[in-house]
């Protein structure tokens, strides 16, 4: 009898284990794709939007961006100011800097303003004159010690030192590009700091100028200029593979120029690609350029054709091949941004007063329309990634 009871108990244990397995299998089937996987929490980011303020906008706005759905919500006027057409967040994520694109800041100058980031709001720290008119871009060094503001009409770059509390320190170094060429008119457009120093795209001079820190001042580098074809109009640029490759988008002839860096730090032209469709014959002007975080895809905006050109990047050669062009569902895509998750691409359409959200295929690089948001004259998108 004891033997039979033992066999019965063992059978019950075995039956119980089998039932548990069946229950788990049923639950997995019921929640196919979700129930048996660890679900990641929703992630929200703050998006700051710079605007032109002649069309009903009041300054810098902030939104909450849902990186699961791609939706923008909680619109807030983060900082009222005139023409904050370009924004840049500091490397430590504590401060935001904005240009005031004008020629009436303290006379005939433009301005730049410093803010501390307090949630979705911005608290003013200080501001200063750029000494050049119509500043249109800001670059910040990786250590957070320097800020370079490019002035389009002024044809100059103002390099500010930044204080421990994010403030702009007065008396910036002033680099005047107008004296570099007597036949062309300088239009400094974008400035970026790298381990090699400072690079400045000058649309009017058809060149990317290079500067190296010498003491506490920036001076022309050994390779002082990367020259592009006449009337190319280099506007913005980005680096790939830690500076091994340089990608320059040219406003006036709607092209992308790829440079390669050698062991001595000298850049040489590798190739030039058109950003427009072969059948497009109207006027168009390139604006912005960004690489995906993995470096596999390069995107550029066309104002006129009103598209985002999509290129695949060869990881060995650095050269690009066209994937396609996607309509921006609006007019004049001045600036765009890839969100921190890498799954979405947002476009600021200046003339059609809207922000378009695309879903980005991280494998193919292609874009699919998701959402549209109305906002007067949006021109710069800057994500806060904490």
pLDDT at residue 28 tops 70:
no
Query: Do 263 and 244 form a contact (C-beta atoms < 8 A)?
Result: no
User: Cα–Cα distance between 349 and 376 in angstroms, integer?
Assistant: 9
Ramachandran region, residue 120 (left: φ > 0; alpha: ψ -120 to 50; beta: rest): alpha
- Encoding tokens for residue 317? 């050669």
Query: Do 37 and 28 form a contact (C-beta atoms < 8 A)?
Result: no
**pLDDT tens-digit readout, 198-214:** 999 999 999 999 999 99
pLDDT band for position 386 (cuts 50, 70, 90): confident
pLDDT at residue 258 tops 50:
yes
User: Cα–Cα distance between 252 and 274 in angstroms, integer?
Assistant: 11
pLDDT at residue 33 tops 80:
no
User: Cα–Cα distance between 245 and 222 in angstroms, integer?
Assistant: 18
User: Cα–Cα distance between 337 and 246 in angstroms, integer?
Assistant: 18
**Rounded to 5 degrees, what angle do the CA atoms 146, 150, 153 make?**
155
Phi first, then psi, for residue 82 (nearest 5°) are: -90, 130
pLDDT at residue 348 tops 80:
yes
Half-sphere exposure of 306 (CA within 13 A, CB side): 14
Half-sphere exposure of 370 (CA within 13 A, CB side): 19
What is the structure's pLDDT at 40?
Answer: 56
User: Cα–Cα distance between 14 and 336 in angstroms, integer?
Assistant: 61
Continuous H helices in the chain = 2-30
**pLDDT tens-digit readout, 60-95:** 999 999 999 999 999 999 999 999 999 999 999 999
Q: Is 273 exposed, middle or buried (0-12, 13-18, 19+ CB in 10 A)?
A: middle
pLDDT over 90 percentage in the chain? 88
Residue 294 neighbours by CB distance under 10 Å = 10
Closest CA to 307 of 288, 320, 293, 291: 288
CA dist 308 → 110, 253, 289 (Å): 30, 16, 9
pLDDT band for position 42 (cuts 50, 70, 90): low
The arithmetic mean of pLDDT across residues 308-317, rounded, is 98
User: Cα–Cα distance between 257 and 251 in angstroms, integer?
Assistant: 11
Closest CA to 318 of 244, 384, 233: 244
Tell me which fold the domain 81-227 belongs to: Methylamine Dehydrogenase; Chain H (2.130.10)
3-class state of residue 177 by DSSP: helix
What is the structure's pLDDT at 6?
Answer: 45
282: Cβ–Cβ under 8 A, 6 or more apart, which residues? 304, 305
> Which string of DSSP letters, residue by residue, matches 79-128?
EE-S----EEE-TTSSEEEEEEEEEEETTTEEEEEEEEEETTEEEEEEEE
pLDDT at residue 24 tops 70:
no
pLDDT band for position 43 (cuts 50, 70, 90): confident
The arithmetic mean of pLDDT across residues 294-320, rounded, is 98
Sign of the CA dihedral 256, 310, 292, 317?
negative
What is the structure's pLDDT at 41?
Answer: 58
pLDDT at residue 157 tops 80:
yes
CA dist 110 → 1, 28, 282 (Å): 99, 61, 32
User: Cα–Cα distance between 109 and 90 in angstroms, integer?
Assistant: 24
Query: Do 117 and 384 form a contact (C-beta atoms < 8 A)?
Result: yes
**Rounded to 5 degrees, what angle do the CA atoms 102, 135, 257 make?**
140
Q: Is 213 exposed, middle or buried (0-12, 13-18, 19+ CB in 10 A)?
A: middle
């Amino acid at each position: 009898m004891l033997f039979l009871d033992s066999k019965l108990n063992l059978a019950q244990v075995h039956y119980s284990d089998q039932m548990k397995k069946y229950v788990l299998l049923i639950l997995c089937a019921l929640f196919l794709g979700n129930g048996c996987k660890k679900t990641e929490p929703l992630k929200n980011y703050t998006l700051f939007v710079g605007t032109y303020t002649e069309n009903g906008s009041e300054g810098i706005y902030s939104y909450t961006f849902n990186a699961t759905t791609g939706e923008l919500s909680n619109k807030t006027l983060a900082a009222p100011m005139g023409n904050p057409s370009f924004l840049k967040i500091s490397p430590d994520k504590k401060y935001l800097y904005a240009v005031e694109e004008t020629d009436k800041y303290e006379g005939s100058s433009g301005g730049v303003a410093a803010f501390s980031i307090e949630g979705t709001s911005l608290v003013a720290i200080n501001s200063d004159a750029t000494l050049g008119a119509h500043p249109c871009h800001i670059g910040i060094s990786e250590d957070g010690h320097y800020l370079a503001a490019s002035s389009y009409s002024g044809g100059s770059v103002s390099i500010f030192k930044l204080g421990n509390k994010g403030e702009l320190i007065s008396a910036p170094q002033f680099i005047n590009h107008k004296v570099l060429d007597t036949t062309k008119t300088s239009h400094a457009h974008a400035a970026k700091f790298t381990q090699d120093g400072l690079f400045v795209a000058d649309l009017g001079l058809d060149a990317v100028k290079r500067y190296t820190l010498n003491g506490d001042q920036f001076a022309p580098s050994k390779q002082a200029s990367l020259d592009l074809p006449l009337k190319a109009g280099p506007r913005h640029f980005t680096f790939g593979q830690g500076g091994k490759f340089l990608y320059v988008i040219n406003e006036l002839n709607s092209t992308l120029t790829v440079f390669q860096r050698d062991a001595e730090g000298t850049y040489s032209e590798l190739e030039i690609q058109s950003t427009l469709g072969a059948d497009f014959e109207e006027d168009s002007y390139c604006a912005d350029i960004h690489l995906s975080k993995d470096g596999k895809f390069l995107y550029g905006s066309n104002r006129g054709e009103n598209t985002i050109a999509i290129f695949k990047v060869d990881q060995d050669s650095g050269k690009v091949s066209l994937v396609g062009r996607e309509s921006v569902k609006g007019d004049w895509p001045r600036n765009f941004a890839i969100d921190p998750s890498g799954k979405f691409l947002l476009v600021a359409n200046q003339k059609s007063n809207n922000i378009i959200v695309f879903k980005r295929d991280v494998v193919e690089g292609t874009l699919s329309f998701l959402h549209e948001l109305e906002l007067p004259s949006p021109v710069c998108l800057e994500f806060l990634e904490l």
